[in-house]
């Protein structure tokens, strides 16, 4: 509300600034600088409407946040923060430290106070409460652990325990003792010459550490020397995760050495250098106080950057030798480091912006799809006005403002300065859909892998505002670094839509080409092969990370679901699966396990036979942006696969969903998927009330209720008493209502031969010991020979078979698909079956089991023994979820990381049915670094275009595919409402020591 309230004051503020400068010039003495500024502002005042229209002048909230961030980073040694509140608090605390240093009379006190406060402020103190309250929880629980597997509890840094406290206290005490002793004994004896004084050994040590750390970091990535040449030491070939890890062991040792140097050796070497500096004797000036506050803080906050800055200062002093550099030496080491840090940052930004500028200019002509009629004119104009273009790039770098390519054409403006996060809203907003669950699941494992990569240096220098792109199958992960401190990093993970639009597909193909050139390379490389042919691309491959993700495989079921032999086998498999589930239900009930209706018809089970096909199954080609609509108004004329009986669907007889089982929103699963919306109005099966047919009588068989009503409905009291011959049979007794099917006994008698008696006895023998304690062979034999128990299960199983309309076998694929979806055609037993939710769910689950058995046997061969069938069903129950994508259980299973998931789908356009299998595996996610200035520039253009030019055309030129700039992907990754990532995590805080 504060930021929203001051936005209308933006224009009056600028006018007030202009008037204030004019009044100061009029009523003050002659000040040449002030007079010149007044003249310049008089000219700019005429162009204020144009500057506002072009969006060059920042809003007041962005200006204030940008100013605080710049002051915190370059003036006080801090880091950009992940939220506005954190920025305000950190800016206030850091400013207080600088003020205190100004008033501390003792230089030794200043050194000790700066080191201690710098160390504490560089830690992620905001997570202390979370870590202490939940020692086994992961930092950033609001988005980090939703669906990811937690890291090992013994992993250092994930919780705040004795080890972490001991390490931090030890580091702080050693640093303070070192600084105090060196400053006390050697600080006042500093020679004027760096070459001869006590600082000289430390200076040479810093040079050696910088070279060694830089070399060890370079060899960790896929490319070296700024992404220009392939790294010959990086593992070649990505055939498997195990092979990659074995080849990566040699680099792991180098990474461990670098980690020790960066986090333990370098900070103490830099503290020693600063503690002995002669300019500490002149601390009681504002500039030196701020300079050394920053210097002692940045040693911990960003050791890599501090080492580079200190090396530059040392090289300047060594180059000068005994000569005095006027205007430089008088600044003091603290201010020198401040200026060097600012200069390095602005130079880095200038080079990145210049590369972005050249990419826009060159590709506007070389890329045919980017070449417009005005391309030649714009290129000629940019060439003739080259000094102005360079001036715009330089001004943009000096202000740390994004370089804005107007409509992403080669027309460049300076965007208004803004914080590194680019967006005013909180981190974590997204446009969720059904596919968001995949990114939610993988975010935890990805963050664990990123932690290791950051610590090793595999992704290069980490600076807040850096952007990375991860790629796995059809998934795109956008990673942004929000803040960085000593031993911790805060990131935001976004998931982009899966390949759907043609623009997305074009850029995704280019991303694949870039990664293939880096990671799928031959063993021996020539010069041309070792050069990065995609160096001008916005993406530079860095490393491959092992992440637990779901591999997605789709199979066209032609020849399987439409085979008459398979359809005939489906009836037998259904009865066997139903018998197995009924007996298992009895065992669970006996052991006190409550039946969980939330599971719906989903299944868990161990790795089944079809999971072996995942390694060789190809994905279906993605479709263009096509939205799958509701499937509820299907008519008989839509049947593509033969006749089907007249039906009354479950969707027509379903009551209102239970409270607490909210139906999931409809939508496509994976773009390009053949998965159709379910026929029960996208409601989770677990949310269905017992099915109650409407009393319309349309299409129902005529029933004379005046004659023999007991045939169709019996009261529980009229049920014959079951005389079990074995005492243990009572455990496998079924609820009385399950025997009340309104079916003629003659119909059950006709189907009696279909009941698998041998399978029933075998399954009973397997489940019997689970309820008998110490079972004997005689007891098990008596249980198998109990005819009353067999008749009970025969009656219930055959009643379910008739109620599902499967008594005459399954005649068409469409009928099988509708039963799988729970869209049961009306039968005279449907009312009875749906009145018992548990039995209905068991029957539907049994049918899905039987279809999965059909799929596995058609793919890998028949099941040859009862033992194999029993173990396969157990496997389904443990490690599989068999259901539909739109069900709540599907999403819950992904978050719970079920090893496997299976779903049956239909592609109306192709006229085929498909099977979809998700397999949780450790896969290599390829990660590359994006040109951060290119991303900020395109985001600035997006913001300007939609907020100032109101160009909200969905097909506008500035979001079309651009293989070099990845324009479409970059627009997607912007925060809503300007962008549309389907998943965005809350800020994830994790250690990277």
Residue that is written with structure tokens 């008696």 in the block: 757
Identify the bridge partners of residue 413 per DSSP, sorted by sequence position.
Answer: 404
pLDDT at 132: 65
Identify the bridge partners of residue 468 per DSSP, sorted by sequence position.
Answer: 479, 929
pLDDT at 478: 95
Helix (H) or strand (E) holding 320: helix 303-320
Query: 505: which 2 tokens?
Result: 């597909």
The phi-psi region of residue 400 (left if phi > 0; otherwise alpha if psi is between -120 and 50; otherwise beta) is left
Helix (H) or strand (E) holding 553: strand 539-556
Residue that is written with structure tokens 């591999």 in the block: 551
563: number of Cβ within 10 Å: 16
pLDDT at 130: 66
Closest CA to 530 of 513, 544, 517: 517
Is residue 671 a contact partner of residue 972, using CB atoms and an 8 Å limit? no
3-state secondary structure of 718: helix
Closest CA to 342 of 315, 316, 305: 305
Sign of the alpha-carbon dihedral angle for 31, 33, 39, 42: negative
* pLDDT, averaged in runs of 10, over the chain (993 residues): 60 87 85 87 87 83 92 93 92 92 87 92 80 49 40 58 84 92 75 66 92 91 85 78 81 89 92 87 80 92 93 89 80 90 95 94 87 87 92 94 90 91 88 89 90 88 92 91 91 87 84 87 59 85 91 85 80 89 86 50 42 38 35 36 40 35 37 38 37 36 40 45 73 83 82 86 79 62 77 88 76 83 81 86 91 87 87 92 90 91 87 89 91 93 82 74 90 90 91 80
d(CA 807, CA 810): 8
- DSSP 8-state secondary structure symbol assigned to residue 154: T
Exposure of 689 in the CB half-sphere (CA atoms within 13 A) = 11
pLDDT at 620: 38
185: number of Cβ within 10 Å: 11
Identify the bridge partners of residue 892 per DSSP, sorted by sequence position.
Answer: none
pLDDT at 669: 38
User: Is beta strand 488-495 parallel, antiparallel or unpaired with respect to 467-472?
Assistant: unpaired
The phi-psi region of residue 59 (left if phi > 0; otherwise alpha if psi is between -120 and 50; otherwise beta) is beta
pLDDT at 535: 83
Report CA 450 to chain centroid distance, whole Å: 12
Is residue 553 a contact partner of residue 933, using CB atoms and an 8 Å limit? no
601: preceding bond cis by omega (within 30 degrees): no
Is residue 152 a contact partner of residue 451, using CB atoms and an 8 Å limit? no
384: number of Cβ within 10 Å: 10
Q: Which residues contact 105 (CB under 8 A, 6 or more apart)?
A: 284
- DSSP 8-state secondary structure symbol assigned to residue 248: T
Is residue 778 a contact partner of residue 808, using CB atoms and an 8 Å limit? no
pLDDT by residue (tens digit) across 520-555? 866 555 555 678 888 888 899 999 899 999 988 888
Determine phi and psi for 969, rounding to 5 degrees.
-65, -40
- Work out the burial of residue 152: count CB atoms within 10 Å of its CB; fewer than 13 is exposed, 13-18 middle, 19 or more buried: exposed
Helices marked H in 785-836: 787-803, 813-820, 830-835
Q: Which residues contact 71 (CB under 8 A, 6 or more apart)?
A: 91
pLDDT at 931: 93
């Amino acid at each position: 509300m504060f930021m929203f309230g001051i936005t209308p004051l933006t224009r009056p503020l600028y006018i007030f600034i202009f008037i204030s400068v004019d009044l100061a010039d009029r009523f003050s003495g002659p000040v040449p600088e002030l007079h010149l500024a007044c003249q310049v502002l008089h000219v700019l005042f005429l162009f204020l409407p144009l500057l506002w229209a072009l969006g060059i002048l920042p809003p007041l909230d962005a200006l204030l946040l940008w100013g605080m961030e710049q002051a915190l980073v370059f003036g006080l040694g801090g880091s950009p923060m992940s939220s506005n509140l954190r920025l305000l608090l950190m800016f206030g605390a850091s400013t207080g430290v600088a003020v205190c240093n100004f008033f501390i009379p003792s230089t030794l006190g200043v050194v000790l106070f700066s080191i201690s406060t710098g160390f504490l402020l560089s830690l992620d103190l905001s997570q202390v409460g979370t870590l202490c309250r939940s020692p086994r929880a992961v930092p950033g629980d609001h988005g980090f652990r939703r669906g990811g597997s937690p890291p090992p509890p013994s992993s250092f840094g994930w919780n705040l325990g004795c080890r972490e406290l001991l390490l931090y206290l030890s580091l702080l005490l050693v640093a303070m003792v070192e600084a105090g002793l060196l400053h006390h004994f050697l600080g006042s004896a500093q020679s004027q010459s760096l070459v001869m004084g006590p600082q000289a050994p430390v200076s040479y040590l810093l040079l050696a550490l910088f070279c060694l750390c830089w070399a060890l970091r370079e060899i960790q990535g896929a490319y070296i020397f700024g992404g220009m040449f392939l790294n010959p030491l990086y593992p070649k070939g990505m055939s498997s995760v195990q092979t990659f890890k074995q080849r990566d062991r040699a680099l792991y040792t180098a990474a461990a050495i670098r980690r020790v140097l960066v986090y333990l050796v370098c900070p103490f070497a830099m503290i020693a250098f600063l503690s002995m500096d002669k300019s500490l004797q002149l601390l009681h000036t504002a500039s030196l106080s701020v300079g050394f506050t920053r210097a002692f803080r940045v040693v911990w906050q960003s050791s890599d950057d501090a080492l580079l800055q200190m090396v530059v200062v040392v090289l300047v002093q060594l180059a000068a030798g005994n000569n005095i550099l006027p205007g430089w030496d008088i600044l003091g080491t603290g201010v020198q480091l401040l200026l060097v840090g600012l200069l390095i940052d602005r130079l880095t930004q200038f080079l990145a912006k210049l590369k972005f500028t050249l990419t826009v200019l060159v590709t506007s002509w070389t890329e045919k799809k980017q070449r417009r009629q005005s391309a030649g004119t714009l290129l000629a104009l940019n060439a003739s006005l080259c000094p102005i273009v360079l001036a715009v790039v330089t001004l943009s770098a000096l202000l740390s403002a994004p370089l804005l390519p107007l409509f992403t054409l080669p027309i460049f403006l300076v965007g208004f300065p803004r914080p590194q996060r680019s967006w005013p809203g909180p981190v974590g907003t997204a446009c969720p859909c059904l596919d968001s669950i995949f990114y939610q699941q993988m975010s935890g494992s990805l963050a664990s892998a990123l932690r290791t990569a950051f610590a090793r240096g595999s992704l290069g220098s980490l600076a807040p505002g850096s952007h990375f792109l991860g790629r796995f199958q059809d998934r795109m992960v956008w990673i942004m670094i929000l803040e960085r401190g000593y031993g911790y990093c805060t990131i935001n993970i976004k998931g982009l839509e899966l390949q759907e639009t043609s623009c997305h597909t074009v850029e995704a193909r280019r991303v694949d080409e870039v990664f293939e050139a880096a990671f799928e390379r031959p063993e021996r490389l020539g010069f041309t092969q070792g050069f990065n042919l995609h160096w001008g691309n916005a993406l530079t491959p860095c490393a491959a990370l092992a992440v637990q993700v779901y591999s997605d495989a789709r199979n066209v079921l032609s020849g399987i679901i439409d085979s008459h032999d398979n359809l005939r086998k489906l009836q037998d498999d259904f009865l066997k699966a139903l018998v197995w589930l009924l007996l298992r239900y009895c065992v669970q009930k006996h052991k006190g396990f409550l039946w969980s209706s939330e599971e719906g018809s989903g299944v868990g089970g161990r790795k089944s036979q079809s999971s072996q096909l995942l390694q060789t199954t190809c994905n279906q080609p993605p479709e263009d942006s096509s939205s799958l609509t509701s499937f509820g108004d299907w008519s008989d004329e839509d049947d593509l696969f033969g006749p089907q009986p007249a039906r009354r669907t479950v969707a027509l007889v379903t009551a209102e969903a239970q409270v607490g089982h909210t139906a999931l929103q409809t939508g496509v699963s994976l773009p390009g998927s053949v998965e159709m919306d379910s026929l029960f109005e996208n409601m989770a099966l677990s949310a269905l009330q017992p099915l109650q047919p409407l009393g319309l009588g349309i299409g129902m068989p005529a029933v004379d209720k005046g004659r023999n009503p007991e045939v169709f409905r019996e009261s529980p009291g009229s049920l014959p008493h079951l005389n079990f011959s074995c005492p243990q049979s009572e455990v496998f007794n079924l609820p009385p209502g399950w025997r009340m099917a309104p079916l003629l006994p003659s119909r059950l008698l006709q189907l009696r031969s279909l009941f698998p008696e041998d399978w029933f006895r075998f399954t009973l023998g397997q489940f019997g010991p689970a309820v008998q304690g110490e079972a004997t062979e005689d007891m098990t034999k008596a249980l198998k020979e109990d005819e009353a128990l067999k008749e009970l299960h025969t009656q219930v199983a055959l009643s379910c078979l008739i109620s599902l309309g499967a008594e005459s076998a399954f005649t068409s694929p469409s009928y099988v698909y509708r039963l799988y979806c729970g869209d049961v055609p009306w039968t005279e037993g449907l009312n009875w079956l749906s009145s018992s939710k548990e039995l209905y769910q068991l029957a539907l689950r049994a049918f899905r089991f039987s279809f999965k058995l059909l799929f596995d046997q058609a793919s890998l061969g028949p099941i040859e023994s009862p033992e194999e069938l029993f173990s396969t069903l157990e496997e389904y129950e443990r490690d599989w979820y068999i259901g539909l994508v739109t069900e709540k259980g599907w999403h819950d299973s992904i978050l719970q990381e079920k090893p496997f998931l299976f779903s049956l789908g239909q592609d109306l356009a192709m006229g085929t049915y498909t099977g979809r299998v998700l397999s949780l595996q450790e896969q290599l996610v390829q990660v590359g670094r994006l040109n951060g200035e290119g991303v900020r520039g395109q985001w600035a253009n997006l913001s300007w275009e939609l907020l100032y030019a109101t160009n909200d055309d969905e097909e506008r030129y500035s979001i079309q595919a651009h293989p070099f700039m990845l324009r479409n992907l970059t627009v997607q990754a912007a925060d809503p409402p300007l962008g549309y990532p389907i998943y965005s995590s809350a800020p994830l805080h994790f250690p990277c020591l």
